[in-house]
Amino acid sequence: MLDHETRPSGFEFTFETILDSTAAPRRLPDDEDSESLTSNAREFPERFGRTYHAYKDGAYVFPNDSNEQARMEYLGQKIIGEILDGRLHLAPFSRGRPPKRVLDVATGTGDWVTQMGDRYPTAYVEGIDLSPIQPMIVPPNVQFFVQDASEPWHYRQPFDFIHTRMTLGSFSDFKKEVIQQAFDTLEPGGWLESLDANGLYQSDDGTLDPDGPLGRWTRDVNAASKMIGKPLSVAHKLKTWFEEVGFVDVHEQEFKLPMNGWPSDPFWSGIGKMSERNLLHGLDGFSLGLLHTAFGRTPEQVRVALVDVRRDIQNTSIHGYQLLYVVWGRKPG
Ligand SMILES: C[S@@+](CC[C@H](N)C(=O)[O-])C[C@H]1O[C@@H](n2cnc3c(N)ncnc32)[C@H](O)[C@@H]1O
């Protein structure tokens, strides 16, 4: 049976009754508010030919349309899936030692949650996001809620595993809004895991010219993300923040994620080729809202500049990469 909680700010959008006809309908204290919130959250505003989340409109500057959803799933399943060798997490859970209650913060399409629900059928797995873009038919132990994770979390029951993935540019203070709230919401002995990549492309051999198109774009999006108060490149700080908040047994794994197939190693070259595809697919969405909000650039200005950035991304004589971190730690107890 799924847990039943009241949520001052979130609301449910999984149709659990399809799969669990015994489950009681779940309502917020004020049903009318809940219904209007549900329909409003689905009225995605359109800008620059893309759609964006409606709940807390403007809080997150990247799109939520099918293009972006496909990109997120490709990144999660193919690229991260390969890098982690098919593992969904590095925190010490397994089929023999499954988690009981799992929360995925800023879940996107809910792909990770759905896979976790399948892998651990005895666990309850919940995903929260600003956008109701998750599938309606999911394993019976899975639920999704529209919720702004930067607001105070209200859970009656603690979780034993909280997870975040690729949330760069989503939070103004990841340490306070996510790591601290996760610490407070975990049971003693529970684990928090965060996987994130800095939105900063660099090279070790000088082949990425900081004043070339890709170098300028990288600088611009990072400056823009700071200007709007949602920094893109904080992944290298995660381990320190976990420890400062009070997590113990904190582990960090760092990976260099190549931006195209330049590495000589076949495994990393393969990852790089997928990364190039992902980056080319996402470039428009990463740039439009962010550079418009921060610098007032028009879609035309942004798209013209992206022509040369695309050329750099596909140039294998530029040995660019971004740093990807997986950090996991345990709440004492
Ligand atoms: C790049 S996507 C990553 C999604 C997913 N974690 C994955 O790995 O596929 C970032 C997600 O964060 C969500 N998000 C941004 N700000 C948020 C907030 N304050 N509360 C909840 N979700 C948020 C966005 O709606 C988006 O779906």
For residue 94, the domain's CATH number is: 3.40.50.150
Whole-number pLDDT of residue 27: 26
Contact 221, 274 (CB under 8 A): no
Q: Is residue 141 part of a domain?
A: yes
Interval 56-112: pLDDT, tens: 999 999 999 999 999 999 999 999 999 999 999 999 999 999 999 999 999 999 999
* Among candidate residues 109, 50, 80, the one with its CA nearest the CA of residue 284: 50
Atom number in ligand 1 closest to CA 106? 22
Whole-number pLDDT of residue 168: 85
Best probe residue, ligand 1, of 131, 170, 225, 322 (max atoms within 8 Å of C-beta):
170
* Among candidate residues 281, 246, 271, the one with its CA nearest the CA of residue 322: 271
Q: Could you give the C-alpha distances from 61 to 216, 255, 290, in angstroms and in order?
A: 20, 26, 6
Instruction: Report the alpha-carbon angle 89-95-100, nearest 5.
Output: 75
Q: Is residue 217 part of a domain?
A: no
Q: Is residue 1 part of a domain?
A: no
How far, in Å, from the CA of 66 to the mean position of ligand 1?
Answer: 15
Contact 184, 331 (CB under 8 A): no
How far, in Å, from the CA of 106 to the mean position of ligand 1?
Answer: 4
Whole-number pLDDT of residue 196: 98
Atom number in ligand 1 closest to CA 80? 8
Q: Is residue 268 part of a domain?
A: no
**Mean pLDDT, consecutive 10-residue segments, the chain of 333 residues?**
40 38 29 56 94 96 97 97 98 98 98 98 98 94 96 96 96 98 98 96 97 97 97 97 98 98 98 98 96 97 97 98 98 96
How far, in Å, from the CA of 109 to the mean position of ligand 1?
Answer: 9
Whether the full predicted model's pTM is greater than 0.85, yes or no, is yes
Domain range holding 26? 11-198+231-257+321-330
Best probe residue, ligand 1, of 7, 42, 60 (max atoms within 8 Å of C-beta):
60
Contact 284, 292 (CB under 8 A): no
Shortest-distance Cα residue to atom 27 of ligand 1: 108
Q: Is residue 204 part of a domain?
A: no
Q: Is residue 295 part of a domain?
A: no
58: left (phi over 0), alpha (psi -120 to 50) or beta: left
Whole-number pLDDT of residue 21: 28
Whole-number pLDDT of residue 8: 39
How far, in Å, from the CA of 266 to the mean position of ligand 1?
Answer: 31
**Ligand 1 pocket list (CB less than 6 A):** 53, 59-60, 72, 76, 106-108, 111, 128-131, 148-150, 165-167, 170
C-alpha 197: how far from chain center: 10
How far, in Å, from the CA of 166 to the mean position of ligand 1?
Answer: 7
Query: How many Cα atoms occupy the beta-carbon half-sphere of 224 within 13 Å?
Result: 24
How far, in Å, from the CA of 108 to the mean position of ligand 1?
Answer: 5
Q: Is residue 63 part of a domain?
A: yes
- The number of domains in the chain is 1
Whole-number pLDDT of residue 36: 55
Whole-number pLDDT of residue 316: 98
Q: Is residue 120 part of a domain?
A: yes
**Residue 153 DSSP label:** P
SS3 152: coil
